[in-house]
Amino acid sequence: MTSRASRPVRPNSLNISSTSRSATITEVIAIGPGVGESIVVSLGDDGWLIVDSCRHRDGTPQALRYLSTRGVAPEEVSMVVCTHWHDDHMKGMGEVVEACTNADFVCTAAVASGDFLAIVAASEIGGSTTLHPGVAEFGRVLRALKATGRKLRFASSDRDLLVTPNASVRALAPGDADIRIGLEAIGTLFPREDDPKSPPPRPRPGQNPASIVLHVIVGQAHILLGGDLEDSTDPSRGWLAILDSPSRTGAKASLFKVPHHGSPDAHNLRVWAELLTTDVVAVVTPYKSSKRPRSEDSARILSLAPRAFVTASPAHSRPVRRDRMVEQMLSDVVRWTQVVDGEESYAHFRLNQKSNTWEVQCVGEAQLLQT
């Protein structure tokens, strides 16, 4: 791992070599215990990428906890991305940024607003407890960045966040239209005028307009991380804005983090046809309080990606079976799968360089997606 000062992170600064890419080991760890989500990606010589944050039952951020079990120091994390400010993607983010002192911090361009930063500043000064919980977490992030001389970086559509000989991270969303709507949604972070002591409204379905979507390339692997981006009939918004972008490349991802816990409001059939390979491996993080993914969600995903996994058992899930039929199915859909019991719960994906096939390890409640 090179130092922060010498680490090449500026986009378009180097030509990407297919030879160097082929030697890079690609690992993706999808963590989703049932409430909350965090994705950890090994970038090879370029360190580690953390996307979003959730907490373990002991209070520690899940991503940091996982890296600790691997003997990876927080200083080896080179980039932390917060896709949007909903609680299930933000909890523990301040602690992650504090620990990962060499990491760039990237958030949606929808918070690049004087109003949002003013809300954060006001909550810091007044100690308000009525603002959205994500605001307080964001305030902790800003303090950590200031203490280490780092600056906010903003993600918007078709923006390169990292380009090196071995890895690249590119934001596909949010687009301009979704950023504008996201800025309008910031107004909901204020307490109501008629009751300034009331808690802020909880996020509702349909309130993920400005979520970041990432296309990550590591070695031979192309990975699409869908965040919580929802679909829209407006061609300038959501997945349609990505699909119809004139800057979109023809590269397709072979591993897909399904957006918004598999909800139909984030589904667009063109995504599967145009952005993903025909043998794509999919992973879903469940949201148990809303019973996502539901049985019909799982059936829809499995019809498009028979190799689909869920990071914890959803409400409709049956216990993991290990009979002959399941063993045969496992051998047909993945190169290697292991179910490991324990208090942790995540799905670990590793690209086999020789076969160009994803090997999968299911830990805790992580399992094959079932209807």
Task: Indicate the pairing of strand 77-82 with strand 104-108.
Answer: parallel
Tell me the C-alpha to C-alpha distance, in Å, between residue 148 and each of 60, 143, 203, 261: 21, 9, 31, 34
- C-alpha to C-alpha distance for 103 and 47, rounded to whole angstroms: 9
Mean pLDDT along residues 81-99: 90
Q: How confident is the model at residue 18 (pLDDT cuts 50, 70, 90)?
A: very low
Query: What pLDDT, on a 0 to 100 scale, did the predictor assign at position 190?
Result: 56
Which is nearest to 251 in space by CA: 220, 282, 227, 210? 220
User: Whole-model pTM?
Assistant: 0.84
Q: Contact at 8 Å (CB) between 263 and 205?
A: yes
Instruction: Compute the average pLDDT of residues 241-254.
Output: 94
Task: Please give the backbone phi and psi of residue 26, each rounded to the nearest 5 degrees, phi first.
Answer: -110, 125
Task: Give the model's pLDDT for residue 206.
Answer: 44
| Residue 26 clears pLDDT 80, i.e. is over it | yes
Would you state the pLDDT for residue 87?
A: 78
What would the mean pLDDT of 317-341 be, rounded to a whole number?
52
The residue-averaged pLDDT of 65-81 equals: 97
Reply yes or no on whether the pLDDT at 210 is more than 90.
no
pLDDT at residue 133, as a whole number: 63
Give the per-residue pLDDT at 30. Answer: 98
pLDDT at residue 213 in the model = 97
The region of weakest confidence among 77-81, 342-346, 367-371 is 342-346
Alpha carbons 340 and 364: distance in angstroms, whole number: 6
pLDDT at 276: 98
Q: Please report the pLDDT score of residue 325 as a whole number.
A: 57
Q: What is the pLDDT of residues 190-209, one digit of tens each?
A: 555 555 555 444 444 445 66
Give pLDDT tens digits for 97-155.
Answer: 999 999 999 998 887 766 676 767 666 654 544 556 667 788 889 899 999 999 999 99
Q: Which two tokens stand for residue 299?
A: 């059936």
pLDDT band at 315 (very low <50, low <70, confident <90, very high): low
Give the mean model confidence (pLDDT) for residues 333-353.
Answer: 71
332 pLDDT above the threshold of 70: no
The whole-angstrom distance between residue 112's C-alpha and the CA centroid of its chain comes to 20
* Band of residue 282 on the pLDDT scale cut at 50, 70, 90: very high
Write the CB contacts of 92 (distance below 8 Å, at least 6 apart in sequence).
Answer: 53, 54, 55, 60, 61, 62, 64, 137
Percent of the chain with pLDDT over 90: 57
The tokens 């589904």 sit on which residue? 267
> Given a cut of 50, is residue 247 above it in pLDDT?
yes
**How much of the chain, in percent, has pLDDT values that exceed 70?**
74
The pLDDT assigned to 288 comes to 84
Average pLDDT along the chain? 82
Residue 334's pLDDT is: 52
pLDDT of the residue at 322: 43
Q: Do you find a cis peptide bond into 174, omega within 30 degrees of 0? A: yes
Tokens of 344: 């942790």
Whether the pLDDT of residue 8 is over 90: the answer is no
Dihedral, 298, 302, 308, 313 alpha carbons, nearest 10: 20
| Structural domains present in the chain | 26-368 (3.60.15.10)
**Lowest-confidence pick of 13-22, 133-142, 166-175, 312-321:** 13-22
Mean pLDDT along residues 289-300: 92
